[in-house]
Amino acid sequence: MSQSIMTEPALPPTEPSTLRPKLRLDGLTHEFRTGGAPPVKAIEGISLDVAPGAFVSLIGQSGCGKSTLFNIMAGLLQPSAGRVVLDGEDITGRAGLVSYMLQKDLLLPWRTILDNVIFGLEIQGVDRREARAVAEPLMDRYGLGRFKTHYPASLSGGMRQRAALLRTLLCNNDVILLDEPFAALDAQTRFRMQEWLLTLWKDFGRTVLFVTHDVDEAIFLSDEICVLSPRPGRIADRFDVSLPRPRGRNVVTAPEFIRAKERCLDLLFSGGQPADSEAA
């Protein structure tokens, strides 16, 4: 107890919020223990400060613990060690304080798109009619207006993701976690969705943590990139992407983009796993 008081300086309320991180991960470690099998250490000692309004991408090989890390941040999973700190407050193991979009779009099949979009607000206790009034203009503005009364089954993958993303953004949380939101989409839809996401990010002013397998996507979207090592996931490298915004499609040919990409790929594919000889 006394230790946590020492590591967490009580910040005076007058201090401008830009000086302290929006979200701080402090030595997060998680071990899965299932039955008689030996425990699996998914992540180890992950510490990270995220500035308010930043767009941070996490990349790493499959199975390195990215979803585990998000589950912990979202309060769905109690870490073996470490803390999650939001606005200076320890929120480890508490759900509902950051918005989380899981790896699937997860729309409720029995609700119309409009009622899916307001689901988060509804869970937070907002009256249905009020929530609809908030959501409808946003759906019109962000290209979902035509689908309000449709059921999810009749929508394309891109539109379903938009609805799920809008639902995530609509919750009144400052931090949103997106776990490979565009992985299942074709390349063209993906492009459009990335631009759409940046528009929303700008409009809503949220802090975004974004998991992806796609290095180009990470560089195109982010202010900052964290590369995780293979399991157990640790932060292997962290760097800023200072390409000016708004970034056009041709940014992929910019020298800084290429340098960033090389840096990521080197880390991902030389990533110190002797058994993984193909990747080397």
Partner 1 sequence: MTDNVLSDMPAAAQATSSPAAHLKRPLRRKGVVIAHEKSWKRSSIWTLQVGIFVALIGGWELATRLGLIDPFFWSSPSRIYNAFIIVIGEGTLFQDTWFTFKATIIGFLLGSAIGAAIGLSLWWSINAAAVVQPYIVVFNAVPKIALGPLIILIFGIGISSKIALAVAFTAVITALAAYAGVRAVDDDLVKLTLSLGGRRRDVFLKIVVPSAMPWITSSLHINIGLALAGAIAGEFISSQYGLGKIIMYAGSTYDMALIWVGIIILALLAIVLYGAVNWLEHKFTRGQNVKTI
Ligand X SMILES: Nc1ncnc2c1ncn2[C@@H]1O[C@H](COP(=O)(O)OP(=O)(O)OP(=O)(O)O)[C@@H](O)[C@H]1O
Residues 171-190: x where in contact with partner 1 by CB under 8 A, - otherwise, as a string: x-------------------
Residues that bind partner 1 (rule: CB under 8 A) add up to a total of: 25
Complex with ligand X: residue 62 or 242, whichever CB lies closer:
62
Q: Scanning residues 67 to 106, which ones bind Mg ion (CB under 5 A)?
A: 67
Which residue intervals of the chain are DSSP H helices? Answer: 2-7, 66-73, 113-117, 119-123, 128-141, 157-170, 187-204, 215-221, 255-270
Residue 100: name its binding partner from partner 1, Mg ion, ligand X, none (Cβ under 5 to 8 Å by kind): partner 1
Structure tokens at 251: 């940014």
Nearest distance, CB of residue 60 and ligand X, angstroms: 6
Q: Measure the CA dihedral 92/26/31/168, to 10°.
A: 50
We find the least distance from the C-beta atom of residue 131 to partner 1, in angstroms, to be 13
In the list ligand X, Mg ion, partner 1, none, the entry touching 63 (Cβ below 5 to 8 angstroms by class) is: ligand X
Cα–Cα dist 123/118, whole Å? 9
Residue reference for tokens 């499959």: 62
Nearest approach in angstroms of CB 240 to partner 1 is 29
Kindly list the residues in this chain that would bind ligand X in the complex (CB under 6 A).
Answer: 32, 34, 40, 42, 60, 62-68, 231
Q: Which value, to the nearest 10 degrees, does the dihedral of the CA atoms of residues 194, 98, 53, 125 take?
A: 90
Closest separation in Å from C-beta 77 to partner 1: 10
Cα separation, 88 vs 90, in Å, equals: 7
Question: In the complex, which residues of this chain contact Mg ion (CB under 5 A)?
Answer: 67
